[in-house]
Amino acid sequence: MSDYSTEEEQIAAIKNWWKNNGNSLLIGIGLALIVVFGWKAYQSGVVESKTEASLLYQQMIGAATSTEFSDPEEGSTVSYLAKELKTKFSDSEYAIYAALFIAKELVADAKYDEAKNEFNWVLDNTEDQRIVHIVNGRLARIYSIQGDNEAALKLLVATDPAFEASFQEIIGDIKLRLSEKQAAISAYTKAYQLVKSNPQSLPLLAVKLSNLGVDPETL
């Protein structure tokens, strides 16, 4: 009888506990399921978004490289696809690559103001410091071509050592354009010394120094 009484007491205790805690437990389980399935849905959405952005980017590159912009209609297609990427997927790397690609083509066509708009869009939409440095270098060249050398030089401050040599070379190009020979030699020399261990980067710098009367072998 004592066993039965103990079982009755256990059942009563369980019922009492469920009465006091059952709703909280169900809510907790429900929230856990929402989090799990919500996260899976989010991940699925991210994958689908990246896939669509990738396909658009491939279409853009295909349209550009197949015609080299010789067909105005195809050129419009490239612009349209780039705008689609930048509008729908502005937080994706494909939108950034699209803007950089379009900017490169615009520079080749000497459409510098339009190219600056693309580069500035990239700066507004990325925190990748590697890309920021690349864009700043290209913007500096455009500003210099347009005669705004002061604005160009302000952009050429490398916070990443990997870009110091390329920035110094651009500074040298700007100083040479300004007929500041010694300043150009100084910048080229700094760049040369930074890349001495990388033979692939040396030839053009060596030519620039040689043209200014400096023997690269002495550096």
Using one digit for the tens of pLDDT, what is the confidence trace for 134-162?
A: 999 999 999 999 999 999 999 999 999 99
Going by pLDDT thresholds of 50, 70 and 90, the confidence category of residue 121 is: very high
In a domain, 32, yes or no: no
| The pLDDT of residue 124 | 93
Q: What radius of gyration, in Å, describes the C-alpha atoms of the chain?
A: 30
Q: Please report whether residue 137 resides in a domain.
A: yes
192 found inside a domain = yes
Percent of the chain scored above 90 by pLDDT? 43
Amino acid letter, 131: I
How far apart are the C-alpha atoms of 56 and 90, rounded to whole Å? 13
Residue 182 in any domain: the answer is yes
Q: Which domain holds residue 212?
A: 127-219
Whole-model pTM above 0.75?
Answer: no
Question: How buried is 64 (Cβ within 10 angstroms: 0-12 exposed, 13-18 middle, 19+ buried)?
Answer: buried
Single-letter amino acid, residue 16: N
Does residue 202 lie in a domain region? yes
Domain membership of residue 183 (yes or no) is yes
pLDDT of residue 69: 46
Nearest to 104 by CA among 77, 135, 146, 129: 135
Domain count of the chain? 1
Q: How confident is the model at residue 10 (pLDDT cuts 50, 70, 90)?
A: low
Q: What is the CATH number of the domain that holds 205?
A: 1.25.40
Asked whether residue 119 is assigned to any structural domain, the reply reads no
User: What is the rounded distance in angstroms from the CA atom of residue 21 to the CA atom of residue 18?
Assistant: 5
Residue 113 lies in a domain: no
- Tokens representing 174? 């700007």
| pLDDT at site 14 | 64
CA distance 97 to 67: 19
Concatenating the DSSP letter of every residue in 39-101 gives HHHHHHHHHHHHHHHHHHHHHHHHHHHHHTT-SHHHHHHHHHHHHHHHHH-TTSHHHHHHHHH
